[in-house]
Amino acid sequence: MITAILALPLIFAIGSGVDGARYYSARAKLQNATDMAALALAASSEQDRDVLGQLAASYLVANMSGADVEGLDVSVTSADAEQIELTASGKMPLTFMRLANLVDVELDADARAMRSPIRNVELALVLDNTWSMSEQDASGISKINTLKEASRELVNALITTDDSPVRIGLVPYADYVNVGTTNRNAAWLDVGKDYSVPPSEQVCVEKTEKTICLAKKPTYACTRTVDGVAEPATCGGECTSQEKQTVPPYKSCSGGGSTTYYKWYGCVGSRKPGTTRLDDQSPTVGYPGYLETSQKCLSPIVKLTNDRPALLKAIDGMVIKVGDYKPYTYIPAGMIWGQNVLSRTEPFDDGADYDEQNVDPRKVLILMTDGDNTLRFNANNGRHISLSSPASKAATEVSETNKDTLSICTYAKSKRIEIFTVAFMVSNSTAKTMLETCASDAKHYFDASNRSKLLSAFSGIARSINQVRLAH
C-alpha cells in the first residue's frame, strides 16, 4: 500500500510529461495550420468576412486532419486589401492527467498574413511516382503519402477561389509519363492502332525421353533491388546435374493458348531525332506511344487548370505501381512534360506566352524526386531502358541521363521559367548536385531529408509563389 502511494508522484510526473509532449505537438500543428489558412486567404481576392470565415474553417479542418484536437474554431478578425488576421482555438483531450481530474487543455493560435498584388501564375508540379516512393519512414508513413499531403496543402494554399489567377498542371512521372488516352489522335503523337495476335496452331508430338534434373543448388533467402528498394527474394535452386531418361510415351505440345491483345494506355517515350527530346522547339516531331499487353505507365498528366477539386482528386489518385509493374526513375521524362505543360506550343498549348521577365504570367516548375536516375535513353525507339553491366558502364549511362535532365533545366531557365527542386530523402550526392544545379538558384533547392522537411519545403514554395508573407 505504501509502495503504491509512493509511486503516485512518479506516475503523475510521467503522465504530465507525456501529455505535455502531446500538448506542444498539437499546439505547433494548430499554429502551422492557422498560418497556412491565413496565407491561403491572403492569396485570394476575397474580402467578405463570412466567406473568408468559411474558407478559413475548411482549410483549418483539412490541415488539422489526424491531429488529436477537438472543438476546432477559427475566426477572421481582420480582412482588407492589405492583410488577413485569424485566430483559432481547440481543445486537446488529456490521457494520464485525467487521473488528476484534468480532462483537456485549451489551445490557441493567431496569424496575420500580408496580401500581394494579383498576377497570373502557371505552375507545373513534376512529381516522382516511382516504386521507391513506396518506402516508409520511421512513423510508417510512405513517401508517396507524404508527397500527396504536401501537394494537397500547396494546391489549397495557391488556389483559393473558382476564378483563381493561379493555374496548376500535374505531371506524375516514373520511367514514362501518361499523356492520357484522350490524346490518341493528336498530331504530336506517333502511336499505331491497337491490335491482337491470335494463338498459333497447337502442335503436339509424342515423346519417350525427358531431361531430368538430378541435383540442384540449395535455395536461400536473398534480396533484389527495384528502383533502389530492396525486396525479399529466393535465390539458388539452379540445376547442377541432369540427364536424359527414357519415360513412358507422352505428348509434348507447343503453340495454342489465347489471343494476345496490344493497346495504348497513354504511355509515351522521348522524341527520337537528335536533341528534340530536350526542349519544346519541335512541335511537329511526334512523341512515340507504345502498345502494350498491360499498362506500363502511371496516372495521366493534368493540364493547367484552376479547378482545385480536380487537382486534389488527381493528387489523391497518384499511384506507384499498376499490377506487377513497379516503375524505375527517368527524370528527363518528367522535366520535358513539365516544360510542355507550361509551353505555348504543342503538345499542350494551354500555357500563355512566355514573359521575358516572368512576371505575368509567372511560370514556375517544381521538380521533386526521391533518388537518382536509374534508366537510359534508347535513340532507336525513344524508350527508357535498363542500365547496362558492368557497374562502370551503368555509371556512365546514368551520367548521360543526368546531362539530359540538366539540358532540359537549362532550356526551361532560358525561357525564364522559375525552377524549384526538392530532393526527398535522397542520399546520392551526385543526384543532389544535379537537382541543385537544375534549380533557379541555391534558394530554390530543398534538401528534404524527412517527412516534416518535405512538408515545410512545399509550404515555403507556396508562400514564395503566393508572394504573401506572415507578419509578426
Q: What is the per-residue pLDDT across 282-320, written as a single tens digit (0 to 9) for each?
A: 989 999 999 999 999 999 999 999 999 999 999 999 999
Kindly give the pairing relationship between strand 384-386 and strand 375-377: antiparallel
Pair 127, 167 in one domain: yes
Pair 137, 236 in one domain: no
Query: What CA–CA distances, in Å, run from 86 to 52, 68, 118, 164?
Result: 10, 21, 21, 21
Confidence band, pLDDT 50/70/90 cuts, at residue 102 = confident
Q: Is 337 helix (H, G, I), strand (E, B) or coil?
A: helix
Whether residue 62 lies inside any domain: the answer is: yes
Last residue of a domain, one of 254, 275, 296: 254
Pair 184, 329 in one domain: yes
Whether residue 472 lies inside any domain: the answer is: no
Unique residue bearing C-alpha cell 483531450: 93
Q: What is the per-residue pLDDT across 214-235, written as a single tens digit (0 to 9) for each?
A: 999 999 999 888 888 888 999 9
CATH number, residue 172? 3.40.50.410
Closest CA to 122 of 339, 368, 405: 339
Query: What CA–CA distances, in Å, run from 313 to 308, 309, 322, 432?
Result: 9, 6, 18, 30
Give me the pLDDT at residue 398, please: 96
C-beta atoms surrounding 15 within 10 Å: 18
Pair 178, 299 in one domain: yes
The C-alpha cell of 415 is what?
A: 525561357
Last residue of a domain, one of 58, 90, 114: 114
Average pLDDT of the residues in 58-85:
84
Question: Which H or E run includes 242?
Answer: strand 239-254
Pair 12, 98 in one domain: yes
Positive or negative: CA dihedral 288, 289, 290, 295: positive
Whether residue 471 lies inside any domain: the answer is: no
Lowest mean pLDDT across 7-16, 23-32, 108-117, 240-249: 7-16
Phi-psi map region of 225: left, alpha, beta (phi>0 left; psi -120 to 50 alpha): beta
Which residues 6+ apart lie within 8 Å of 216 measured at CB? 236, 237, 238, 239, 240
Range of the domain at 225: 203-254
Confidence band, pLDDT 50/70/90 cuts, at residue 6 = very low
Pair 309, 415 in one domain: yes
Average pLDDT of the residues in 363-377:
96
Q: Is the pLDDT of residue 206 over 70?
A: yes
Pair 374, 273 in one domain: yes
Which residues 6+ apart lie within 8 Å of 133 measured at CB? 142, 143, 144, 147, 320, 370
Give the whole-angstrom CA distance, residue 331 versus residue 158: 25
Give the whole-angstrom CA distance, residue 294 versus residue 296: 6
> What's the number of domains the chain is made of?
3
Q: Is the pLDDT of residue 202 over 90?
A: yes
Pair 209, 293 in one domain: no
Average pLDDT of the residues in 366-393:
96
Average pLDDT of the residues in 64-76:
85
Q: Is the pLDDT of residue 337 over 80?
A: yes
Q: Is the pLDDT of residue 96 over 50?
A: yes
Pair 279, 428 in one domain: yes
DSSP 217: P
Last residue of a domain, one of 80, 114, 148: 114
**What residue type is 80 in one-letter code?**
D
Whether residue 289 lies inside any domain: the answer is: yes
Give the whole-angstrom CA distance, residue 387 versus residue 6: 67
Pair 7, 26 in one domain: yes
Pair 326, 369 in one domain: yes
Give the whole-angstrom CA distance, residue 440 versus residue 65: 33
Whether residue 284 lies inside any domain: the answer is: yes
Q: What is the per-residue pLDDT across 242-265, written as a single tens digit (0 to 9) for each?
A: 999 999 999 999 998 999 999 999
Confidence band, pLDDT 50/70/90 cuts, at residue 431 = very high
Give the whole-angstrom CA distance, residue 287 versus residue 430: 29
Whether residue 401 lies inside any domain: the answer is: yes
Q: Is the pLDDT of residue 97 over 80?
A: no
Question: Which H or E run includes 429?
Answer: helix 429-438
Total-model pTM = 0.75
**What residue type is 3 in one-letter code?**
T
Whether residue 42 lies inside any domain: the answer is: yes
Q: Is the pLDDT of residue 161 over 50?
A: yes
Confidence band, pLDDT 50/70/90 cuts, at residue 468 = low
Give me the pLDDT at residue 154, please: 95
Q: Is the pLDDT of residue 7 over 70?
A: no
Instruction: Say whether the peptide bond before residue 9 is cis (omega within 30 degrees of 0).
Output: no
Whether residue 85 lies inside any domain: the answer is: yes
Pair 65, 177 in one domain: no
Give me the pLDDT at residue 5, please: 47
